[in-house]
């Protein structure tokens, strides 16, 4: 395949310069990478073992995982930097939808057509659901509210008392990061509340679905969560939320003069979508059970070595939680989350260990953060960004590691947020030195920019990046990654019995270590690009 044959220019030059000595040195390095990869894998094995039951936020097994991380932080010389030793406890409200006691129907001319929950539609569990809703439906295109970009699907329509239906994605001429931002719960929930709508039904686009519908349906029994503190919640009343199976979506469009095929064709061509009333009303009853739980973020500090810059903090983050125990697939009900995201926490630990073993201290302080509640809506990071354990204005960057997928050698590194801040330039420089090509995300409609914890730092004005292994378009590696998402992502088979390239994982850790050291050691504080949309979140005096 082309990506395997493609040598970075720097690597060719050093081969030519170093001559015969290079091969011996390279093989030693490969041996080291293999060893380092095994150390990394030992953390993954511990955290993703069946014994840890999938580390669901709020469970005893999550707490055991958090204790493991705190013990390693201590062993690697990090100081406790939580509110209770290494821990920063967070309180959550948990909502479970009881499908057996719930019902959803479409009503036309007084006639009710019941929907099959699971097959046709899934009820959302994150926002508090109303016990009953009866409302007309309106299709609002992509439901993107981006007035500053001159695009607003919610404007100019009377949506009061209605439930809106939308298709995921957005017009091609809008930047991916912007579309993702408008899709984030914080933005979308607020925008929808302002219209007076009673709720929303999202239709995923099959072209950008990571998880097939059947597997999404299996996860419907899993609980939703939100932070118990009301200032950190997205909506303040009940809001009907559901997802509709794209394969069944013509049920929604009956009598409207439109079809899902027509709308998907427009979406796949990157075109704007029409907005129109639907010929149907929705009638739903939603039964839920609500409880409260608590779970900690884990925070460790490596104090900086420069008298002046040590008061500033570079955050390295990775979420520790996963989905716990759920519906069995092939007889396995433990959702171990080995790549999602024991892998990122293992990298966090290995980087801490390497910094400690290196003996020196970067000029800035480095904060190591293992987060709870990511799978439930980036909640641990939202709590930390809202209640940082160091002064918020002193947080200068976040480098987030979540499911970077070392399935094959590291030739390309995809970086979320690459064009938004000077951190992207740092990533490119560190990548070039390691012979790794740093590339932007080629699939922005997967919304990865807002799908992990870095986004909560961005919302507080702190430049941030997230990382995953890239692949050349059309390559075998690209197919491997797609297959992984289809078969293992959020499935019990994301466990320790899967093929992983340990040496490639170790190289990733090396690269992230180098990046963290570069950012922590640089005289200049990271800054947003003048052109970045997200610059607006920067606190006065920190944007430059």
Of the pair 340, 495, the CB lying nearest Zn ion is at 340
Residues 7-26 that bind Zn ion (CB under 5 A): none
Q: What is the Cα–Cα distance from 244 to 201, expressed in whole angstroms?
A: 7
**Residues 6+ positions from 397 with CB-CB distance below 8 Å:** 314, 315, 423, 462, 463, 464, 519, 526
Angle between helix 343-358 and 60-75 (nearest 10): 20
- Shortest distance (Å) from residue 127 CB to Zn ion: 19
The DSSP secondary-structure symbol of 420 reads T
Could you tell me which stretch among 62-70, 212-220, 332-340, 443-451 binds Zn ion (CB under 5 A)?
332-340
Could you tell me which stretch among 160-168, 194-202, 283-291, 372-380 binds Zn ion (CB under 5 A)?
372-380
Could you tell me which stretch among 56-64, 174-182, 339-347, 514-522 binds Zn ion (CB under 5 A)?
339-347
- Shortest distance (Å) from residue 69 CB to Zn ion: 18
- Name the residue with the smallest CB distance to Zn ion: 340
| 219-256 per-residue burial string, b: 16 or more CB within 10 A, e: under 16 | bbebbbbbbbeeebbbbeebbbbbbbbbebbeebbeeb
Q: Tokens 């903090």, residue?
A: 313
Could you tell me which stretch among 74-82, 127-135, 197-205, 368-376 binds Zn ion (CB under 5 A)?
368-376
Could you tell me which stretch among 148-156, 336-344, 345-353, 364-372 binds Zn ion (CB under 5 A)?
336-344
**Residues 6+ positions from 161 with CB-CB distance below 8 Å:** 135, 136, 196, 197, 198
Of the pair 349, 485, the CB lying nearest Zn ion is at 485
Of the pair 152, 340, the CB lying nearest Zn ion is at 340
- Using an 8 Å Cβ cutoff, are 118 and 220 in contact? yes
- Shortest distance (Å) from residue 402 CB to Zn ion: 8
Long-range pairs, 480-485, Cβ under 8 A, ≥24: 480/407, 480/408, 481/405, 481/407, 484/339, 484/405, 484/407, 485/210, 485/211
Residue 127 interacting with Zn ion (CB under 5 A): no
Of the pair 375, 495, the CB lying nearest Zn ion is at 375
Letters for 373-392 (x = contact with Zn ion by CB under 5 A, - = none) are --x-----------------
**Residues 6+ positions from 40 with CB-CB distance below 8 Å:** 346, 347, 350, 502, 505, 506, 509
Of the pair 120, 340, the CB lying nearest Zn ion is at 340
Of the pair 178, 448, the CB lying nearest Zn ion is at 448
Strand segments, DSSP code E, in 9-162 are 79-80, 87-97, 103-108, 111-114, 121-123, 132-139, 145-146, 151-152
Residue 398 CB neighbour total at 10 angstroms: 30
Of the pair 180, 195, the CB lying nearest Zn ion is at 180
Letters for 433-462 (x = contact with Zn ion by CB under 5 A, - = none) are ------------------------------
- Shortest distance (Å) from residue 49 CB to Zn ion: 18
Of the pair 56, 515, the CB lying nearest Zn ion is at 56
- Shortest distance (Å) from residue 213 CB to Zn ion: 17
Q: What is the Cα–Cα distance from 46 to 55, expressed in whole angstroms?
A: 11
Residue 402 interacting with Zn ion (CB under 5 A): no
Q: What is the Cα–Cα distance from 249 to 438, expressed in whole angstroms?
A: 39
> For residue 95, what are the β-bridge partners?
224, 290
Of the pair 468, 532, the CB lying nearest Zn ion is at 468
Could you tell me which stretch among 213-221, 231-239, 303-311, 334-342 binds Zn ion (CB under 5 A)?
334-342
Of the pair 350, 375, the CB lying nearest Zn ion is at 375
**Residues 6+ positions from 458 with CB-CB distance below 8 Å:** 417, 420, 464, 534, 537
Residue 340 interacting with Zn ion (CB under 5 A): yes
- Shortest distance (Å) from residue 340 CB to Zn ion: 4
- Shortest distance (Å) from residue 317 CB to Zn ion: 14
Q: What is the Cα–Cα distance from 56 to 332, expressed in whole angstroms?
A: 16
Binding residues for Zn ion, rule CB under 5 A, total: 2
- Shortest distance (Å) from residue 374 CB to Zn ion: 7
* Residues found near Zn ion in the complex (CB under 5 A): 340, 375
């Amino acid at each position: 395949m082309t990506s395997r044959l493609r040598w970075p220019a720097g690597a060719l030059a050093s081969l030519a310069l170093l001559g015969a000595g290079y091969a011996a040195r390279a093989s030693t390095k490969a041996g080291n990478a293999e060893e380092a990869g095994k150390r990394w894998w030992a953390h993954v094995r511990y955290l993703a073992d069946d014994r840890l039951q999938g580390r669901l936020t709020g469970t005893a097994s999550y707490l055991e995982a958090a204790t493991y991380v705190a013990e390693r932080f201590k062993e690697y010389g990090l100081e406790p930097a939580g509110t209770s030793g290494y821990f920063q406890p967070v309180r959550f409200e948990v909502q479970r939808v009881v499908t057996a006691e719930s019902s959803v129907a479409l009503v036309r001319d007084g006639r009710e057509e019941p929907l099959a929950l699971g097959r046709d539609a899934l009820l959302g569990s994150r926002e508090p659901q109303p016990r009953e809703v009866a409302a007309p439906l309106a299709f609002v295109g992509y439901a993107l509210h981006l007035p500053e970009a001159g695009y607003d699907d919610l404007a100019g329509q009377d949506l009061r008392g209605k439930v809106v239906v939308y298709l995921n994605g957005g017009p091609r001429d809008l930047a991916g990061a912007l579309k993702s931002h408008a899709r984030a719960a914080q933005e979308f929930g607020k925008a929808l509340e302002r219209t007076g709508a009673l709720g929303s039904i999202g239709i995923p686009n099959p072209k950008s679905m990571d998880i097939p519908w059947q597997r999404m349906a299996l996860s419907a029994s899993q609980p939703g969560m939100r932070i118990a503190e009301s200032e950190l919640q997205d909506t303040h009343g009940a809001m009907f939320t559901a997802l509709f199976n794209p394969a069944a979506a013509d049920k929604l469009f009956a009598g409207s003069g439109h079809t899902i095929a027509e709308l998907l064709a427009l979406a796949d061509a990157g075109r704007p979508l029409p907005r129109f009333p639907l010929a149907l009303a929705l009638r739903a009853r939603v039964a839920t059970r609500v409880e409260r739980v608590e779970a900690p973020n884990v925070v460790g500090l490596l104090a900086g070595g420069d008298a002046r810059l040590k008061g500033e903090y570079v955050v390295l983050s990775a979420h520790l939680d996963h989905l716990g125990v759920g519906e069995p697939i092939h007889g396995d009900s433990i959702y171990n989350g080995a790549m999602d995201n024991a892998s990122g926490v293992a990298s966090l630990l290995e980087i801490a260990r390497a910094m400690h073993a290196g003996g020196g201290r970067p000029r800035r302080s480095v904060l190591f953060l293992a987060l709870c509640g990511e799978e439930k809506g980036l909640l641990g990071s939202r709590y930390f960004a809202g209640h940082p354990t160091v002064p918020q204005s002193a947080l200068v960057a976040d480098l987030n590691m979540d499911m970077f997928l070392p399935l094959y050698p590291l030739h390309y590194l995809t970086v979320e947020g690459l064009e938004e801040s000077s951190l992207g330039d740092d990533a490119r420089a560190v990548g070039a030195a390691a012979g790794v090509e740093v590339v932007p995300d080629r699939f922005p409609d997967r919304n990865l920019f807002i799908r992990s914890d870095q986004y909560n730092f961005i919302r507080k004005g702190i430049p941030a990046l997230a990382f995953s292994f890239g692949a050349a378009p059309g390559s075998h590696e690209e197919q491997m990654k797609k297959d992984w998402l289809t078969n293992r992502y959020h499935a019990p088979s994301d466990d320790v019995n899967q093929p992983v390239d340990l040496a490639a994982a170790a190289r990733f850790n090396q690269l992230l270590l180098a990046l963290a050291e570069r950012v922590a050691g640089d005289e200049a504080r990271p800054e947003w690009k003048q052109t970045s949309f997200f610059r607006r979140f920067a606190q006065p005096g920190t944007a430059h």
